[in-house]
Amino acid sequence: MVTAEALAGLRPAQAAVQVRLALEEAGCPDAAYDAGLLCRLATGRDPRLDERPLTEAVAKKLAGDTARRCQRYPLQYLAGSWEFLDLEFKVGPGVLIPRADTETLCLAAAETLKGKQEPRALDLCSGSGCLALGLCRLVPGTRVLALEKSQEAWPYLNENIRLAAGRGIRGVTPVLGDVFSFQQQLEEESLDLILSNPPYLTGPEMEALQPEVRCEPAMALYGGQDGLDFYRHIARGYRPLLKEGGTLALEVGWQQAAQVARLLAEAGYREIHCARDLEGRDRAVLARRL
């Protein structure tokens, strides 16, 4: 346990060492990285470049954040925001944390829109809005409907849209609704792209979650006992909304690509292929309506 009394008066680099040792003892992965970030959050400065001793107020914040992180509370929630592509997204309890894996989907989906004039897209299970806003960042002029069901995630989605607009990134319209019925509200053959990072964890995977992931909303994680409930519905229910040549792009679990590709083929999609993440795993499945 790191106390405010023990941290007060230390230089930030010294405090970071104490925080790292506490995090390692608590079993936190990447303890050194977390310690550095927690120090930056407390002081507003890089601990490697700062010689000013910690004040009592700063030491109290750092000790409190360290205690929560030792309880395996997500670092991203403590930070209050997290990076996706080159954008910063507000996050907190009730919204799924943006991940590098999802950047794979966003980049691959954006490639399908190149050369199109004012393409229209739909982001299902939008959460923080990282996919919808990332798409508009990569393909300016895109208009995206960002569908989200969760009342807890809804404020984050709207706030991130507002903040992105301050950077000149526009085109996302948030919609509160359910992916299992929303297709009835849209015109057929009206979209160039549908993309989604749907809930896809299986029942056994939900039982084996890391402590940090257990803090994230279960409704954004659980995809039914076999993890495929959302894929089944999206594949068939949303296909009529795509224009001829339009693309469906879906993030998948690292063992799900073949199953999802088969579902898409059975639903009538063609040109099905996968995009790999930085670890070389199939992370997104893309298919076209022809």
Is residue 188 domain-resident? yes
Is residue 279 domain-resident? yes
pLDDT one-digit tens code per residue, 239-253: 999 999 999 999 999
Given 47, 71, 95, the domain boundary residue is 71
Is residue 15 domain-resident? yes
Is residue 76 domain-resident? no
Q: Which amino acid is at 129?
A: G
The reply to whether 95 and 214 lie within a common domain is: yes
Burial of 205 (C-beta count, 10 Å sphere; 0-12/13-18/19+) = middle
Taking only the tens of pLDDT, the chain with its 290 residues reads: 899 999 999 999 999 999 999 999 999 999 999 999 999 999 999 999 989 999 999 999 999 999 999 999 999 999 999 999 999 999 999 999 999 999 999 999 999 998 899 999 999 999 999 999 999 999 999 999 999 999 999 999 999 999 999 999 999 999 999 999 999 999 999 999 999 999 999 999 999 999 999 999 999 999 999 999 999 999 999 999 999 999 999 999 989 999 999 999 999 999 999 999 999 999 999 999 99
Burial of 14 (C-beta count, 10 Å sphere; 0-12/13-18/19+) = middle
The reply to whether 222 and 243 lie within a common domain is: yes
CATH number at residue 222: 3.40.50.150
Is residue 251 domain-resident? yes
Is residue 248 domain-resident? yes
The reply to whether 64 and 85 lie within a common domain is: no
The reply to whether 184 and 262 lie within a common domain is: yes
Number of domains into which the chain is organized:
2
Cα 97–99–101 angle (5° rounding)? 145
The reply to whether 168 and 210 lie within a common domain is: yes
**What is the spatial distance between Cα 275 and Cα 277, in angstroms, rounded to a whole number?**
7
**What is the spatial distance between Cα 252 and Cα 260, in angstroms, rounded to a whole number?**
8
Domain that holds residue 105: 81-288
Residue 53 phi/psi, 5-degree rounding, is -60, 150
3-state secondary structure of 274: strand
The reply to whether 205 and 233 lie within a common domain is: yes
